[in-house]
Amino acid sequence: MTAETRPRYAHLTGWGRYAPAGVLTNADLERMVDTSDEWIVSRTGIRERRVAAAHETTASMAAVAALRAIAVAGIKPEDVDLILLATLTPDYWMPATAALVKEAIGNTKATAMDLAAACSGFVYGYATAQAYITSGMAKHVVVIGAELLTRFLDYTDRNTCILFGDGAGAVVLSASDEPGGGLGIELTTEPQGAYMIWLPSGGSKSPPSAATIARGEHFIRMEGRETYRFATRTLATTALAAIEHAGLQPDDISLIIPHQANVRIIEAVAKGLDLSMDRMFVNVDRYGNTSAASIPIALAEAANSGRIKVGDRIVIVAFGAGFTSGAVAIQWTADPVRGALGDAVSPDSVHVRPPVDWDSVDPIPDALAEILARPGRVPLDLSNVVPGEPEPAAHPALR
């Protein structure tokens, strides 16, 4: 492919999401840790979050979301040239979880790799996909954000266990000669915040051992106040930079889809951009913080619920551990009605090949399994859940 024939634009042509059926409410958490529904909602806006079943993994959730996005894009899995999976909760440290997803969706030709930028990972993946397409190295790229965070939480720490949930979302970017797609991109990293959100052990600095397990060093740790300050300061400036790179002004943006970590942070972003909250898409009340999955889940939900139309200019913006941040200003070109095509993909039809002669221990944390099995809850067989789509938002004030 020569420079003269190289595609100039990377359009967003497909989108899909996947939410596990298991739900952990604030009332459930009240039984596990010193907290209350009022305390959680007033500080975060979160009312419930999704919990993956024991048979579900980051790869299986990612594969469902990817196939739904591929169906919406109107292409076949074999048409995909590159699979980028943003996650901080891979199935294994090796191989790359993206390789497992490639096999699960029935693709044989794509390059597949994981991308680690925590909650900003999906936006970093989007920027990488756009670079591949505009350089002529790929025609169709699947970008996925998938996380299974509920297995990495300390359910005695009310500062972290209330925040996170599981899920996956994906988009397809496709080459086009027509204007549209990504218009402006801004990515940043501020490493002075590297230890404000982190997981101490499990890497080469501190490999897993009986001592690291005893010290609880395989759970997510976070300095909440410092993280909040960074997020409220950086999300707005990063979004504004992407908007300016696109040659636009904030008032030109129809909808902003921010990382879903905290509704107070989202309100601060709206204020920083001098926009009303009705231009901010919010679903943190129903999913909690799903890290790299939060933006693609929200984007798919926004498109399917009629919040986006052809010609709209939208912005996706995230922040995460590192400290990382990223934003993309996008001109929407796909017919949102196509979102219904993803419904044809059933989770039952997607299978990730397990390793030979090996099986994991029960992955559900004891504290979580105990609360989900208590009397009075809707019975939930964690070993074999057939997930369904999330219900419409029950809290309009947070939309």
Residue 4: band (very low, low, confident or very high) from pLDDT cuts 50, 70, 90: low
Q: What is the pLDDT of residues 59-86, one digit of tens each?
A: 999 999 999 999 999 999 999 999 999 9
Lowest mean pLDDT among 324-328, 331-335, 339-343, 395-399: 395-399
Give the span between the Cα atoms of 93 and 278, in whole angstroms: 40
Q: Which pLDDT does position 385 carry in this prediction?
A: 38
pLDDT classification of 95: cutoffs 50, 70, 90: very high
Tens-place pLDDT, residues 110-166: 999 999 999 999 999 999 999 999 999 999 999 999 999 999 999 999 999 999 999
The average pLDDT across 388-396 equals 38
pLDDT for the residue numbered 243: 98
pLDDT at 199: 85
Lowest-pLDDT choice from 10-19, 145-154, 361-370: 361-370
With 70 as the cut, is the pLDDT of residue 379 above it?
no
pLDDT-wise least confident of 26-40, 72-86, 324-338, 356-370: 356-370
Q: pLDDT class for 378, splitting at 50, 70, 90?
A: very low
Q: What class does CATH assign to 9-390?
A: alpha beta
- Taking residues 247-264, what's their average pLDDT? 97
Q: Quick count: other Cβ atoms within 10 Å of Cβ 155?
A: 19
For tokens 């929200």, what's the residue? 298
Judge contact between 365 and 155, C-beta under 8 A: yes
Looking at the predicted structure, is the pLDDT value of residue 94 above 70?
yes
**How many angstroms separate the Cα of 330 from the Cα of each of 126, 239, 317?**
11, 12, 11
Where is 130: in which H helix or E strand? helix 121-134
Judging by DSSP bridges, how do beta strands 9-18 and 140-148 pair with one another?
unpaired
**Whole-number Å distance between alpha carbons of 232 and 144:** 25
Model confidence pLDDT, tens digit, residues 195-234: 888 889 999 999 999 999 999 889 888 887 888 888 888 9
Position with higher pLDDT, 100 vs 202: 100
188 pLDDT higher than 50: yes
Comparing C-alpha atoms, which of 122, 105, 242, 131 is closest to residue 171? 122
Residue 390: what pLDDT? Answer: 39
Q: Is the peptide bond before 95 cis (omega within 30 degrees of 0)?
A: yes
pTM of the model: 0.91
Find all residues with CB under 8 Å of 199, minimum gap 6, and list them.
88, 152, 217, 218, 219, 220, 221
pLDDT above 70 coverage of the chain, percent: 92
394, pLDDT greater than 80? no
Q: 393 pLDDT exceeds 80? A: no
Task: Report percent pLDDT > 90 for the chain.
Answer: 79
All residues at 6 or more sequence positions from 281 whose CB lies less than 8 Å from its CB, including other chains? 255, 256, 257, 258, 298, 301, 302, 307, 399
Count Cβ atoms below 10 Å from residue 139 Cβ, excluding itself.
19
What pLDDT band is residue 7 in, cutting at 50, 70 and 90? low
Q: Catalytic positions, please?
A: 119, 259, 289
Residue 395 has pLDDT above 90, yes or no: no
pLDDT score recorded for residue 362 = 83
Burial profile 90-115: b = 16 or more Cβ within 10 angstroms, e = fewer: bbeeeebbbbbbbebbebeebbbbbb
Residue 386, pLDDT > 90, answer: no
Give the angle 274-183-186 at the CA atoms, nearest 5°.
Answer: 65
The residues spanned by each domain of the chain are 9-390
- Asked if 14 and 70 touch (Cβ cutoff 8 Å), the reply is yes
**What average pLDDT is seen over the chain?**
91
Q: Residue 389: which pLDDT band, with cuts at 50, 70 and 90?
A: very low
Q: Is the pLDDT of residue 277 over 50?
A: yes
Mean pLDDT value across residues 343-350 = 95
Residue with tokens 């504290």: 367
Element (DSSP H or E) covering residue 68: helix 58-73
